Amino acid sequence: MTLKTFGLFLVIALLFSCAKKPARKEQSIPISGIDSSNGFDTSRGLRNANSFNQISTTPNAIILTGINNVRLFSIYKIRNEQDRNIAYTEGTSYNDYADDEKDFKYFMPGIDIIHGYNLVNIGHYRLDKDSLSWFFERPVLIKTLYFPGVRKDSLNKQPVSRNFFLISVYNEDTNNDSLISNKDLRRFFFIDELNKTKISLLPNDYSAIRSSYDYNNDIMFIHARQDVNRNGSLEPAEPVSIFWIKLYNPKMIRKII
């Protein structure tokens, strides 16, 4: 087995090991807690805590990106006012080591990752225009955000950079229980660098469940379960399909099986 082949298996193994971690407590947003507005003031960021009625939120870190004029702001659901002083941990997939064969340092080359827990929106700020917009018009539950990494990276000995965002998210009460929660179907979106175009990549009756990466071909694989009985929830007996995205052209997704 070559070092490159071993590296590919290592990446996939790491993804599966992450998937086997104990599930966190259920996250949810009550539909009754979302008002008719988007809950955000695009000139000043968040309104007051009552803008979501039953939902209190707080901004967290400023997220640097590899797009020079774009910075992101993470918005979290909080339990009480004391939580406004909590700095929510947002790690990085960047590794400070490399070997002769594995010349990239991000988990996926050029792409950093934030795993959400009660992460309800992302603000997109353009420094050159002094303008703030939002990835979603109303509160959602973000599972994973993929964004251009700020540090230099390479793939197959060549510099690599990205100019898009990918995001997996619970954004709809698909099972009609009056909550947006991690019991609903999980969507997967492409968002362009200026937050002007947002494309839902998976069919509406599929829910993303895990992913893996093939660095030899710069392809991201998405495993998704089909909601065959159309009840808006996933069940173990329902079939799993595999889709793939070329990260050098991520607007299109293709089904393999």
pTM: 0.82
Distance, in Å, from the CA atom of 211 to the CA atom of 131, rounded to the nearest integer, reads 33
In the chain, the largest separation of any two C-alpha atoms, in whole Å, equals: 58
Distance, in Å, from the CA atom of 50 to the CA atom of 87, rounded to the nearest integer, reads 21
Domain-located, residue 23: no
Mean pLDDT by 10 residues, the chain (257 residues): 46 45 66 53 38 73 94 90 78 68 75 93 96 95 96 89 97 95 97 97 97 94 98 96 96 94
pLDDT of residue 19: 45
Domain-located, residue 220: yes
3-state secondary structure the chain: CCHHHHHHHHHHHHHHHHHCCCCCCCCEEEHHHCCCCCCEECCCEECCHHHHCCCEEEEEEEEECCCCCEEEEEEEEECCHHHHHCCCCCCCCCCCCCCCCCCCCCCECCEEEEECCCEEEEEEEECCCCEEEECCCCCCEEEEEEEECCCCEEECCEEECCCEEEEEEECCCCCCCCEEECCCCCEEEEEECCCCCEEECCCCCEEEEEEEEECCCCEEEEEEEECCCCCCCCCCCCCEEEEEEECCCCCCCEECC
Domain-located, residue 158: yes
Domain-located, residue 80: yes
Domain-located, residue 34: no
Domain-located, residue 30: no
pLDDT of residue 225: 98
Domain-located, residue 27: no
Domain-located, residue 13: yes
pLDDT of residue 31: 81
pLDDT of residue 23: 46
For the chain, how many structural domains are there in total? 1
Distance, in Å, from the CA atom of 253 to the CA atom of 82, rounded to the nearest integer, reads 42
Distance, in Å, from the CA atom of 99 to the CA atom of 154, rounded to the nearest integer, reads 13
Distance, in Å, from the CA atom of 101 to the CA atom of 244, rounded to the nearest integer, reads 24
pLDDT of residue 45: 39
Domain of residue 59: give its range.
Answer: 3-17+40-255
pLDDT of residue 98: 54
pLDDT of residue 104: 61
